[in-house]
Structure 1
Amino acid sequence: MFSSRSRHTHYQQTNRSYYGIILLLAELSRSSHLPPITLIIIILNVLIYFDIFPLFGLSNNLQSVCVSTHAVLDQGDYMRILLAPFFHGDDMHLYYNMASFLYKGQQLETLFGGRYFALLVTILTISSSLMLVILGQLASSLFDNPEYLFTCAIGFSAVIFALKVITTHYTPDHSSYSLFSFIPISTKYIVWVELIVIQLITPNVSFLGHLAGILVGLLYTNGPLRYICNNIYNVMF
């Protein structure tokens, strides 16, 4: 998720680059397994980035679609909860998110099946945006700083962090990940390390958005959200 902390700063896409799209196509072409729901979600994100859907027409003014506590609670713009994750600031933002989503989708869609995975992504998308709204309110009260109410985020990163928590939950405890190729870290803690490292490297990303994704992922792996997903799935299918 990209974020803007100032209530006077505006996202705006002026020129859409194809470089990130080319990299994404290369990533897809190298993949030996493209689960259908994962592929559909990636295509949907790309189409929205290029403003293919006239219904939206929002890609040139991302400030009108980004999700924030102020926009949702004070202005009552609830559609941002669903729309914001599918809009990206630039082609590289889109590429990194979709390349990461591809890897997680390959694992989880294969594990859960396409219909459950589609439901899971939908619920994680809504829950992550709602969690960001809640965290903005909490941070504003805790740090006595109203700017957290205006932290406005876009992008699929929160959903990806939630999926990463779920993916690592199904990874054996003894497995590990090498940070910077030489620092071994248990996959159990890697999302927290990535949360800090990404913020240090790219401070313009939404810390609250990524944290929201992690917390939503934990709500799934620890029961409550999984219970909701399972019950909705059983009713629908």
Structure 2
Amino acid sequence: MEVRIGQRVSRGMLPLLALHTVSEYYRSDHKPPFTAALIAANTLIYLRPSFLDPLIPPIEQVWFNPHLILKNKDLKRFLLSPFYHIGEPHLVYNMLSLLWKGFQLETSMGSVDFASIVASLLVLSQGVTLMLSKSLLLFFDYERSYYSEYSVGFSGVLFAMKVVLNSQSENYTSVYGIIVPSRYAAWAELVLAQLLVPGVSFLGHLGGILAGLLYLKLRSTYSGSNPIKVLIRGIVDAVKWPFKFLRRRRGRITGRGTVGSNRAWRCQTCTYDNNNGSLRVCEMCGTIRVVNGVSSFQRSSRSDGLPLDELRRRRIDRFGGR
């Protein structure tokens, strides 16, 4: 059964990917947003819906080709090629792998840290692959096989993520039906995928594994803040700031009643805003707090065990004797 989605015709695998993703998020207590965003971005780029078509470069402009990247200093090919896939099976297989790895990593470390890791691994895996292909050209004259090769796909980043995910694991896992230690699963998959799946990018997968190892090495030796993490956190804070401001403004109620958060309250006698919600007596005039609409204008010499002298001292400290 074929279903047209955007400019692509799905043969049933994309609906299964969507169903599986929704099912995983529905069943899980943790719903990692960045993993979902990555899956959505890869899928939308593959489907090329009409409203996004002018914004998405064609695949011919983003193929990862070491020769063209170095010759033209083409950052578009360097950065965007992981998000493109050449077919539905290619996309679905990578996204299912991303779903599982993303759930594990993002749930354990948080969305900002996970986003910084993905960004770091993407740049490292692309850079290592580029250097490997150039080195093979210089030392072994492997131009046709690797230096002029065209490739796309998220698998290099996924191999790097697998290295990071399994770096401390003592368990065993199955790779194409073969049980291997989890920490060596990426190496086993590299060899078996090359033997069993024709046309896969050996150098891209190898670059991903080496990028994962390089990331772990850099993380263990560098104690400072991850600049990519700082950048992502700054972007997230900038996006969230207007919503915090709106919530703060919405929390203030004019007239008599609560101000700001639930802990603050306004005196009905002098209209002073008391920030300490634990006090039942106004710090300005000493009037007993109104609770649930029951008012009392009696003066109190004590507030939750505070003597009147202490209450006066607090007023003097707060208002400078005014």
Give the drift of 1:73: 0.5
- Distance in 1 (alpha carbons) for counterparts of 2:191 and 2:173: 16
**8 Å Cα contact 2:119/2:228 also seen in 1:** no
In structure 2, runs of 5+ residues without a counterpart are 1-6, 234-322
Confirm whether residue 188 of structure 1 aligns to residue 186 of structure 2. Answer: no
1:176 aligned residue (165, 172, 178): 172
What residue in structure 2 maps to residue 110 of structure 1?
A: 107
SS at match of 1:151: coil
- Distance in 1 (alpha carbons) for counterparts of 2:17 and 2:88: 10
Q: Tell me: CA distance 1:99–1:58, structure 2 relative to 1, closer, same or farther (3 Å).
A: same
Q: Which has the higher contact order (CA 8 A, sep 6+)?
A: 1
What residue in structure 1 maps to residue 21 of structure 2?
A: 28
- Distance in 1 (alpha carbons) for counterparts of 2:194 and 2:221: 28
Where do residues 15-164 of structure 1 align in structure 2 (5 Å cutoff)?
15-31=8-24, 32-33=27-28, 34-52=31-49, 53-59=52-58, 62-147=59-144, 148-164=146-162
More helix by share: 1
Give the drift of 1:184: 2.5
Q: Tell me: CA distance 1:87–1:168, structure 2 relative to 1, closer, same or farther (3 Å).
A: same
1:104-157 deviation line (CA, Å, top 9, x unaligned)? 000100111001111211121122112211111012223212212111210100
Larger radius of gyration: 2
- Residue-pair matches, total: 219
What residue in structure 1 maps to residue 227 of structure 2?
A: 232
What residue in structure 2 maps to residue 200 of structure 1?
A: 195
- Distance in 1 (alpha carbons) for counterparts of 2:176 and 2:62: 35
SS at match of 2:174: strand
What residue in structure 1 maps to residue 290 of structure 2?
A: none
- Distance in 1 (alpha carbons) for counterparts of 2:57 and 2:228: 32
Q: Tell me: CA distance 1:228–1:100, structure 2 relative to 1, closer, same or farther (3 Å).
A: farther
SS at match of 1:66: coil
Q: Tell me: CA distance 1:187–1:229, structure 2 relative to 1, closer, same or farther (3 Å).
A: farther
SS at match of 1:189: helix
- Distance in 2 (alpha carbons) for counterparts of 1:68 and 1:226: 32
Give the drift of 1:68: 1.8
% identical aligned pairs: 36
* Structure 1 residue ranges (4+ consecutive) displaced by more than 6 angstroms after TM superposition: none
Q: Tell me: CA distance 1:15–1:26, structure 2 relative to 1, closer, same or farther (3 Å).
A: closer
Question: Normalization by structure 2: what TM-score?
Answer: 0.63
What residue in structure 2 maps to residue 5 of structure 1?
A: none
Give the drift of 1:188: 1.6
Q: Tell me: CA distance 1:233–1:130, structure 2 relative to 1, closer, same or farther (3 Å).
A: closer
More displaced 10-residue stretch of structure 1: 220-229 or 148-157: 220-229
- Write the letter of the residue equivalent to 1:191: A
